[in-house]
Amino acid sequence: MRAIRFDGPGDWVLAEVPAPEPGPDELLIKVEASGVCGTDLRIATGDYGHLSFPLVPGHEFAGTVAGWGEGVEGYAVGDPVAADPNIWCGRCEWCRRGAPNLCAHWEALGITRDGALAEYVTVPARLAVPLAAGLDPATGALIEPLSCVLHGFDRGGVEGGRSMIIYGGGAIGLLAVAVAADLGAEAYLIEPHARRRERGLELGARGAAGSVTELAGPAQFDLVLDASGAPAAVADGLSRLRKRGTFLQMGVLPTGAEQAYSPYHLYEKEWRIIGSNSVADQYPAAAAAMGTLAPRLRGLITHEFDLADFDAALAAMASADAIKVQLRP
Ligand SMILES: [Zn+2]
Ligand SMILES: [Zn+2]
């Protein structure tokens, strides 16, 4: 099969490799759509930290069942399916405390084992979720960032009737707008690029602007979500919290970034400052949410390439109008 294979940091080829064989309790998935994100970019630039090579990247995908190993039941060839790329052990302290995303023995498709920038991928069957028949696989592959958003909202206690400001109109920020609007929250988007702001308004944002001062709306919010990973956005966001406000960090900043905040106001206004990392257990909820969200989400996929065009896909991610870039194996 064809696969993108990293042989080292920054060193990749389109390779012909043997298709993986599903082991016991594993599902073999024919990949129909596979997204690339900042994590892949960090792997490509050698900025991810320790990885072992060769490695097939790709962790945001949807496809169809192509086979299974011993012990797997309930699937038919051709069933539409996605799988949480995060492989957790279920036994460590964090798994037992309901935080499988923080698993002490965490592994992940496309990061610590071969992923979905390939024609086929094997996954532990327990991490697979069926997708609705007829769901476009490209939209289906948005289940990974959508799951991240649902986990963030779970962490942050996002609910209807609250005001919310979202910094960053990439895939995470725009999916957050869509979910917040569906919940009945009053969501606003801060994003420098006009096309992404337009998408935010289409997805239900009450307002969108390049900065809070340009926004026709409130200046303080019940919920502040950073989905930009930009230090300036985090600094601005921390100054925008109402009493009992929650600041939710989803954007990935440089590991050495530091940010001042007011411990006095944290106490006096009863703020909460919360982080949200990855998916946790939200794939099934995201698959269900796709039922109502899917028709509005297709427009988030701005660039689609053949698997052979991985270079072009990485380059497209840097363009101002890119939201979600995907490859078709
Ligand atoms: Zn990702
Ligand atoms: Zn664990």
Task: Report the percent of the chain where pLDDT is more than 90.
Answer: 91
Note the ipTM here. Answer: 0.96
Residues with Cβ within 5 Å of ion ligand 2?
88-89, 92, 95, 103
Q: Mean per-residue pLDDT for 88-105?
A: 96
d(CA 107, CA 122): 14
Q: What is the pLDDT of residue 320?
A: 85
d(CA 65, CA 128): 10
Q: Mean per-residue pLDDT for 173-194?
A: 97
Answer for the pair 106, 56: CB distance below 8 angstroms, yes or no.
Answer: no
d(CA 178, CA 156): 16
Q: Is the pLDDT of residue 38 over 90?
A: no
DSSP state of 329: -
- What residue ranges do the domains of the chain occupy? 2-141+282-328, 149-275
Distance from residue 260's CA to the centre of ligand 2 (Å): 32
273-276: long-range pairs with CB below 8 Å, 24+: 273/238, 273/246, 273/247, 273/249, 274/155, 274/156, 274/246, 274/247, 274/248, 274/249, 275/155, 275/248, 275/249, 276/148, 276/151, 276/152, 276/155, 276/156, 276/248, 276/249, 276/250
Tens of pLDDT, residue by residue over 125-161, are 999 999 999 999 999 999 999 999 999 999 999 999 9
Nearest ligand, CA of residue 102? 2
Q: Is the pLDDT of residue 10 over 90?
A: no
Element (H, E) at 286: helix 283-297
Confidence of residue 108 (pLDDT cuts 50, 70, 90): very high
Distance from residue 98's CA to the centre of ligand 2 (Å): 9
Amino acid (1-letter code) at residue 243: K
Q: Is the pLDDT of residue 9 over 90?
A: no
Distance from residue 218's CA to the centre of ligand 1 (Å): 32
Distance from residue 131's CA to the centre of ligand 1 (Å): 19
**179-196: burial string, b at 16+ Cβ within 10 Å, e else:** bbbbbebbbbbbbebeeb
Q: Is the pLDDT of residue 58 over 90?
A: yes
d(CA 222, CA 164): 6
**What's domain 2-141+282-328's superfamily in CATH?**
Medium-chain alcohol dehydrogenases, catalytic domain (3.90.180.10)
Distance from residue 50's CA to the centre of ligand 2 (Å): 20
Distance from residue 314's CA to the centre of ligand 2 (Å): 32
Confidence of residue 112 (pLDDT cuts 50, 70, 90): very high
Tens of pLDDT, residue by residue over 278-322, are 999 999 999 999 999 999 999 999 999 999 999 999 999 988 889
Mean of pLDDT over the chain: 96
Tens of pLDDT, residue by residue over 193-214, are 999 999 999 999 999 999 999 9
Distance from residue 84's CA to the centre of ligand 2 (Å): 15
Distance from residue 134's CA to the centre of ligand 1 (Å): 24
Distance from residue 90's CA to the centre of ligand 2 (Å): 5
Confidence of residue 42 (pLDDT cuts 50, 70, 90): confident
**224 vs 45, higher pLDDT:** 224
CATH 3.40.50.720 is held by the domain 149-275: yes
Q: Is the pLDDT of residue 47 over 90?
A: no
Distance from residue 37's CA to the centre of ligand 1 (Å): 5
Q: Is the pLDDT of residue 49 over 90?
A: no
